[in-house]
Amino acid sequence: MNQKRRNGSRVIAALLLFSIAQIGLQIGLAEPNNTTNPTAIPQQLVGRLTTRNNQPIMVNGLSATTGASIVSGATIETGADQSATVNVGPVGSVDIAPNTKLLLTFDEQNLKAVIINGCATVSAKKKTTGEIANEQGSLKKTEPGAGGVLKVCFPETAGKPANLGRGGPFGLGTLATILIFSGYGAEVALVPLIFQINPSHSAP
């Protein structure tokens, strides 16, 4: 009888040990693996907008003013009396002239402005490649990683005041100027000159 009790106690003890081992194994599997390195999430590079006199400009079709965040791929547009600068921190900055529309892209090593129309200046810092392009291709580009300053107007007449004068030293036009200095038609050519200098001779 005592032998049976002993055998029963041994069986119970073995079952208890087995149960405890199973519980410990399950707890161990449930714990996180601390030896695994966490995946680093890259931080997105963001530019900061500054507008002249805090005037609003258009960014991706929406109004934006000084302090707005500019992400890579943004379309920026200024009006006739508006200008702006986008500071992209360690990469550099882009100055945007009035009446300009461009696409701005950048990453840790590149700063690029694609001008649709208008004028822009790209100031790339060292270890950064700066570039200005249009929709047809690259217009100017710094040496890779060297940084530098680029300025482009597209088309080339963008940002330049219209020449409203008629030409010649007296504003009479090229043909009249040639006639005066060549001695031909001087009398005819000097008539508008006299009226320009002394408009009081005009008829009342």
> Where in the chain are the domains?
1-34, 47-154, 167-193
What is the per-residue pLDDT across 141-184, written as a single tens digit (0 to 9) for each? 999 989 999 999 998 766 665 444 445 554 455 555 544 455 54
Give the whole-angstrom CA distance, residue 93 versus residue 112: 10
- Please tell me which residue, 167 or 42, carries the higher pLDDT value: 42
Q: Is the pLDDT of residue 31 over 60?
A: no
Which of these, 93, 48, 102, lies nearest to 75 by C-alpha position?
A: 102
pLDDT at 33: 57
The mean per-residue pLDDT over the stretch 66-85 comes to 97
Chain-centre distance for alpha carbon 116: 13
pLDDT surpasses 60 at 122: yes
What's the mean pLDDT when you consider all of the chain? 78
Q: Is the pLDDT of residue 195 over 50?
A: no
Stated pTM of the model: 0.60
The rounded percent of the chain whose pLDDT value lies above 70 is 57
φ/ψ of 191, rounded to 5, equals: -60, -55
